[in-house]
Amino acid sequence: MSEYAEPGTGKRLRGVLRSSAGWDVNHATAQGLLVDVPVENASAAGAVAVAAPGGTVVTAVPTFGAQLALGFVGGLILNLMPCVFPVLGIKILGFVNQAGSNRRKVVMHGLAFTAGVVTSFWALAALLAVLRSGGGQLGWGFQLQSPVFVFSMAVLLLVFALSLSGVFEFGLSATGMGTGLQTRGGVTGSFFTGLLATIVATPCAAPFLAPALGAALTLPPLPSFLLFTAIALGLAAPYLLLSIFPDAVKLLPRPGAWMETFKQVMAFPLYATVGGLVWVLAGQVQDQALLLVIFGLTVVALAVWFYGRYATPGAPSRRIRTGIIGGLLLLVAGIALGWPRPAVPTDIVWEPWSTERVAELRKEGRPIYVDFTARWCFTCQTNKKLVFSSDEVKRVFRDKNIATLRADWTNQDPRITEELARWGRAMVPFNLVYLPGHDTPQILPELLTSDIVLKAVRGGKQ
């Protein structure tokens, strides 16, 4: 067993010791023990390790029954998480609307919701099993590692939030998964509400959920499915109980004007979730791509507003058609604009600007390009997109060994402010080209093109 000892020392053995009969730990049965013990005389591969005095058992691996219990409790806790609470509120409104229905109908809605939750968790478990069989290293929320998925969720939740805010309404709308679809589609609406609850739950790893999910990612397929089922039942339990015990539903407030206020208040956690998803995207895409994501979401909001403005219930059919067609066109445009794109590699490496670095490079006789910029400067971002991603510009900069310096004025920097004032400027963008043999740099216009930059670095006058 010496090959399992700590690398470079051969002095310790670490791992999980499992037994089909289980281990008695503190009068409880555990399937495995996490061990970390010193090893003596571990000279031959495969030799039996002898624990030296002082070897300790660090912790016990929970039994499968305990893991199921943790999964169920974690599913319950998910109902209190910010990314699930809005859906919970929508569903409660649905129960309030159903309070006057017969008990069988209410129970059917609860069972359909539970079926939706369980189905989506089974689908997730199946996907994990398939990907894991291919050798992928996955964890809970792995789908959030995909910028496309994160952006799609941001679009979906933004539409939901705008619907809750009253920007638009239609029968099979965003809130239709919680109210409109449930009302018009019967138990189908409750089933899709269960699917939605699972989708928005994935970013929330509740405290008791982490051990259960960690086990689910290592268990064989059948136990893993059972564990995901326990999590799903925990998430659906409050809704199922409300449907089975209609008296509890009747304890909820009576329908009234408060429902509209409550519905609109529920939009704000969704807006916060959209903001959180954009924050996730900020770590996955380049700055320019993130800006397009924000613009894309803005166009999506415009699409929703346009639809709500023209396709109002009871409006003439021509006006409704205008709302539908215009809304769809804007929606497609917004999604296309914000769709995450793979990072474009750049051959231009920017150094931080300083007057000392400029002086040093000029002594070396190298041409220098200085870009004074800021994240909040949209013209600066446009210049980066149009000019510095050009293959011709990158080739010329490389061939001429041009040093590229960037003065980032996103935050206040007295050195940059002083340098701008030195050239009679008080704002960015501002670009300078220093060429060997010239005493003063060439000042470029604010809005750049590839031709302007290439002409400047080749020694031409603007």
Quick: pLDDT tens for 83-94: 565 556 566 666
What whole-number percentage of the chain has pLDDT above 70? 65
Same domain, yes or no: 208 and 224: yes
The verdict on residue 228 lying in a domain is yes
Segment (H or E) for 166: none
Q: How many domains would you assign to the chain? A: 3
pLDDT digits (tens, 9 = 90+) for 28-79: 455 555 555 565 544 433 433 434 444 444 444 457 788 788 888 878 877 7
* Residue carrying the six token digits 């206040």: 412
Residue 462 lies in a domain: no
Same domain, 270 and 139: yes
Domain termination residue (choose one: 231, 261, 284): 284
Between CA 90 and CA 266 the distance in angstroms is: 8
Element (H, E) at 443: strand 442-443
The answer to the question of residue 338 being in a domain is no
Closest CA to 131 of 117, 150, 145, 119: 145
pLDDT in tens, 106-132: 778 788 888 988 998 888 788 777 766
Residue 91 and residue 203 in one domain: yes
Of 248, 263, 284, the domain-final residue: 284
132/279 same-domain check: yes
pTM of full prediction above 0.75: no
Q: Check whether residue 56 and residue 100 sit in a common domain.
A: no
Judgement on whether residues 56 and 169 belong to the same structural domain of the protein: no
- Whether 303 is covered by a domain: the verdict is no
- Are residue 178 and residue 79 in the same domain, yes or no? yes
Residue 442 lies in domain: 351-457
Residue range 293-317: mean pLDDT, rounded: 91
The pLDDT score that the predictor gives to residue 138 is: 53
The answer as to whether 400 is a domain residue is: yes
Of residues 295 and 16, the one with the higher pLDDT is 295
| Position 243 confidence tier, pLDDT thresholds 50, 70, 90 | confident
Residue 302 included in any domain: no
Q: Is there a single domain that holds both residue 181 and residue 56?
A: no
Residue 240 lies in a domain: yes
Q: CATH number of the domain that 400 lies in?
A: 3.40.30.10
The answer to whether 87 and 200 have CB atoms below 8 angstroms apart is yes
Question: Which of 130-134, 223-227, 235-239, 299-303 has the highest mean predicted lDDT (pLDDT)?
Answer: 299-303
pLDDT at 372 over 90: yes
Decide if 328 is inside a domain: no
Average pLDDT over residues 260-265: 76
Is the same domain home to 267 and 157? Answer: yes
Angstrom distance (rounded) from CA 350 to CA 117 = 49
Question: Based on the domain organization, do 9 and 118 belong to the same domain?
Answer: no
Question: Longest Cα pair distance anywhere in the chain, in angstroms?
Answer: 91
Q: Give yes or no: residues 35 and 94 share one domain.
A: no
> Which of residues 267, 284, 301 is at a domain's end?
284
CA–CA distances in Å: residue 148 to residues 71, 129, 293, 298: 28, 22, 11, 17
Domain check: are 273 and 150 in the same one? yes
